Amino acid sequence: MKTLKFLIEKEFKQMFRNPLIPRLIVMFPTMVLLVFPWAVSFEVKNIKIDVVDHGKSIYSKRLTDKVAASKYFILNDTPLDYQTAMLNMENGKTDMILEIPASFDKDIVKSQTSTVGVAVNSVNGTQGLLGSNYIMQIVNDFSSEIRGELINTLPPQSRATIMNMPRVDIVPQYKYNPELDYKNFMIPGFMVLLLTILCGILPAQNIVMEKENGTIQQINVTPISKINFILAKLIPYWAVGLVVMIISVTLAYVIYGLWPAGNVIAVLFSAIVFILSVSGLGIIISNYSETMQQASFLVMFFILILVLLGGMFTPVSGMPAWAQTIAAVNPFNYLTKTFRMLYLNGSTLADVSNNLFALGIIAVVLNGWAVFSYKKRG
Amino acid sequence: MIEVKDLHKSYGKSGKINALNGISFNVNDGDIFGVIGPDGAGKSTLFRILASLIMPDSGTAIMNGYDVVKDYRKIRQIIGYMPGRFSLYQDLSVEENLKFFATLFDTTIEENYHLIKDIYQQIEPFKNRRAGALSGGMKQKLALSCALIHKPEILILDEPTTGVDPVSRKEFWDMLARLKEQGIIILVSTAYMDEASRCDRIALIREGELIASNTPQGIIDDYSDILWAVEGSRMSAILRELRKYEKIKTSFAFGDKIHITVDESLQIGELKQYLINRDFRDVGINPIEPTVEDCFIALTN
């Protein structure tokens, strides 16, 4: 125990004497939480749209105005024909085309139905999909508006038949994130990202640094046990991770007003279990690398896998089976789920215990491997 | 007592690079044992095996009764190892480094202070300075203190004097002589042949093979050639002429002189006349006692 304490003390001394790392630990979460939640958003806004209005009538004008007034669209142009609009899209001036037929008004008045054409530039799939959804919503709104107005113009008997026709309205309730604020969803993800980067990269470089400086030789000829040595490497990153978490949770509250709906202690506790597993991964990488360059590349490679297959940006359930298999052993995935549950759903420690259990197993396996792969002699 | 028997070690994928090719020697208690050979001879590999850092492919090494492969845990208790490169924590201070290594061996600076006192006193005024900011000589003293702090029975020093100035080198050997009095076996490797005389016994190694093991004097006594030193003003021209002369067996530039070994039938006057005939008028030729380096050259030819 005395040796372990002294080893940890040494790690902390080295960490604080490094001119960069203590600042990094504070600056990095601050920057990430200040900047990224605003920038990384899947909400699609300001889609440029061309409206080709063949009808040039009151109703088509109303539809055009409604589209232009939407926060999702910017009315780029109202060309006379579809070809001009298409040319605009090819030149990148517009993203969508809404084509209103010449018979729009007549159709609406006569048969209470009409069609509009929509063409979307789907190079960016998300924008294409969301854009066409938004326009459908607008058109639907518009049609129920008109329906309400026109119903009064009908003869009473047919009015009654229409009134008696069954009608289904969908009224969505947005649970756990009522404002549909994308930031609320992403901030817990960013916290996991921060922990992964700091508590993954720093340990990965640590043992390699001892190798490059030759100090590992001096350590290896001492009777110190492998477990003590690895533990002394891991424990300081708990502290680092906790500091990062405290900064992150505070910033999320102060800047975005986001506080865990569940227990804040549960957030910190799950972070600790997670840190153990990513730091273990870092140390394994460190053990297998001979130079800082190798370690840096390897750790970047793994972090990319952890993040992209970790359900932060895209839901795991939408991934192919093989990717879901990877996600099942991906600590990033478990903590992202846990944090979102704790932050948004108001889950308790008991609710997330399955995730924590999985994280615990991953941590035990990775750290066992870390101890095993550290060779005191070649 | 160290018994090294037939150590083999090769590196590379299919064992292409033979670092050690069957090395055997014994070291007596209380000796300073020098392993002497040029760069790449296998000195560091040998010492890393003895320090239990790497495993030999075959062969055994028993140090004070413990096998370096089987009893490596015990070996780590009884040895002090100082690698060729400075490998202490540059971002820790002098005192912190020493305390750190003392703690790893479950001891304290105070407990074994008497062992390092001589050496450590010289750097103690700088004990709060970071190790990275020390001069080369001070780093070396700190490294030696750290290797000694747990009172090892065997001290393994891998090229401790490489890259150290002549005065510090001499000082270092004086320190080793004092440590020897404490009964510590000292294994030291060096590429400097002139340091051989400071050892009790030496082993000359080249390309992973032992070419001689004896006391420095014993090695010199075994030297059987007639050795002369030639000096003059145009050394390289003289060397070229000497190499053409058939009664000279070998000739090597040796500092500001040329060392030659000659046939018994050759007289100094005869050689002098030969050189004067070739317009080297200021040459001096004297018979000399061989040094370890002469022996090394003779043994490797």
| A87-129 pLDDT, tens digit each | 888 888 888 888 888 888 777 777 767 778 888 888 887 778 8
- In terms of Cβ atoms closer than 10 Å to its own Cβ (0-12, 13-18, 19+), residue A175 is exposed
Q: Mutate one of A21, A216, A222 to test the B interface: name it (highest B CB count within 10 A).
A: A222
Asked whether the beta carbons of residue B72 and residue A377 sit closer than 8 angstroms, the reply is yes
Angstroms from B81 CA to nearest CA on chain A: 7
Contacts of A12 in chain B (CB under 8 A): none
| Beta-strand pair B32-36/B185-190 | parallel
CA distance B262 to B230: 12
| Nearest Cα to Cα of residue B294 among B219, B206, B195 | B219
The Cα angle at residue A33 between residues A270 and A352, in degrees rounded to 5: 20
Q: What is the pLDDT of residue A308?
A: 92
Chain B interface with A: residues with Cβ < 8 Å: 51-55, 72-73, 76-77, 79, 81, 83, 85-92, 96, 100-101, 103-106, 130, 146
Residue of B nearest to A19 (CA): B91
Asked whether the beta carbons of residue A219 and residue B52 sit closer than 8 angstroms, the reply is no
Task: List alpha helices for chain A, DSSP H.
Answer: 2-17, 21-39, 58-69, 82-90, 104-111, 125-150, 156-164, 182-213, 215-220, 226-256, 264-288, 292-308, 321-328, 331-340, 353-373
What's the Cα-to-Cα distance from A151 to each of A55, A116, A158, A160, rounded to whole Å? 22, 21, 9, 10
Angstroms from B194 CA to nearest CA on chain A: 28
Angstroms from B74 CA to nearest CA on chain A: 8
Model confidence at A163, pLDDT cuts 50, 70, 90, reads: low
Looking at residue A289, the DSSP 8-state letter turns out to be -
pLDDT at A166 over 70: no
Asked whether the beta carbons of residue A217 and residue B53 sit closer than 8 angstroms, the reply is yes
Q: Check: CATH 3.40.50.300 for B2-214?
A: yes
- The answer to whether the beta carbons of residues A281 and A194 sit under 8 Å apart is no
Q: What is the pLDDT along chain B (301 residues), one digit of tens a residue?
A: 999 999 999 987 776 788 899 999 999 998 999 999 888 889 999 999 999 999 999 999 999 999 999 999 999 999 999 998 888 999 999 999 999 999 999 999 999 998 899 889 999 999 999 999 998 888 989 999 999 999 999 999 999 988 888 888 888 899 999 999 888 999 999 888 888 889 999 999 988 899 889 998 998 888 888 899 988 888 888 888 888 888 888 888 888 888 998 888 888 888 888 888 888 888 888 899 888 888 888 888 7
Looking at residue B132, the DSSP 8-state letter turns out to be G
Asked whether the beta carbons of residue B83 and residue A6 sit closer than 8 angstroms, the reply is no
Task: Compute how many other C-beta atoms are within 10 angstroms of the C-beta atom of residue A26.
Answer: 12
CATH superfamily of B226-300: VP9 protein domain (3.30.70.2070)
The domain spans of chain B are: 2-214, 226-300
CA distance A139 to A93: 23
Half-sphere exposure of B297 (CA within 13 A, CB side): 16
The residue ranking higher by pLDDT, B90 or A153, is B90
| Nearest Cα to Cα of residue B83 among B163, B140, B9 | B140
Q: What is the pLDDT of residue A170?
A: 66
- The answer to whether the beta carbons of residues B116 and B149 sit under 8 Å apart is yes
CA distance B190 to B197: 12
CA distance A352 to A267: 10
By the CB < 8 Å criterion, does A213 face chain B? yes
For A268-297, the pLDDT digits (tens) are 999 999 999 999 999 999 999 999 999 999
In degrees and rounded to multiples of 5, residue B202 shows phi and psi of -135, 155
Q: What is the pLDDT of residue A28?
A: 93
DSSP assignment of B199-260, as one string?
Answer: SSEEEEEETTEEEEEE-HHHHHHT--SEEEEEE-S-HHHHHHHHHH-TTEEEEEEETTEEEE
Q: How many CB pairs under 8 A join A and B?
A: 71
Angstroms from A222 CA to nearest CA on chain B: 5
Contacts of A377 in chain B (CB under 8 A): 52-55, 72
Angstroms from B201 CA to nearest CA on chain A: 25
| Nearest Cα to Cα of residue B10 among B53, B39, B35, B42 | B42
Residue of B nearest to A18 (CA): B91
Contacts of B54 in chain A (CB under 8 A): 377-378
* Complex-level ipTM: 0.82
Q: Mutate one of B50, B53, B106 to test the A interface: name it (highest A CB count within 10 A).
A: B53
Q: What is the pLDDT of residue A164?
A: 61
Contacts of B76 in chain A (CB under 8 A): 221-223
Asked whether the beta carbons of residue A215 and residue B87 sit closer than 8 angstroms, the reply is yes
Contacts of A220 in chain B (CB under 8 A): 53
- The answer to whether the beta carbons of residues B144 and B82 sit under 8 Å apart is yes
For A22-53, the pLDDT digits (tens) are 999 999 999 999 998 888 777 777 888 999 88
Comparing CB atoms, the residue among A3, A216, A377 nearest residue B54 is A377
pLDDT at A167 over 60: no
Angstroms from B88 CA to nearest CA on chain A: 5
Asked whether the beta carbons of residue A377 and residue B55 sit closer than 8 angstroms, the reply is yes
Asked whether the beta carbons of residue A222 and residue B100 sit closer than 8 angstroms, the reply is no
- Cβ contacts of B277 within 8 Å, gap of 6 or more: none
Q: Mutate one of A17, A218, A376 to test the B interface: name it (highest B CB count within 10 A).
A: A218
Looking at residue A46, the DSSP 8-state letter turns out to be -
Asked whether the beta carbons of residue A214 and residue B54 sit closer than 8 angstroms, the reply is no
CA distance B34 to B201: 6
- The answer to whether the beta carbons of residues A99 and A119 sit under 8 Å apart is yes
Question: Which residues 173-202 on chain A approach chain B with CB closer than 8 angstroms?
Answer: none
Asked whether the beta carbons of residue B79 and residue A378 sit closer than 8 angstroms, the reply is no
Question: Which residues 7-46 on chain A approach chain B with CB closer than 8 angstroms?
Answer: 7, 10, 13-14, 17-18
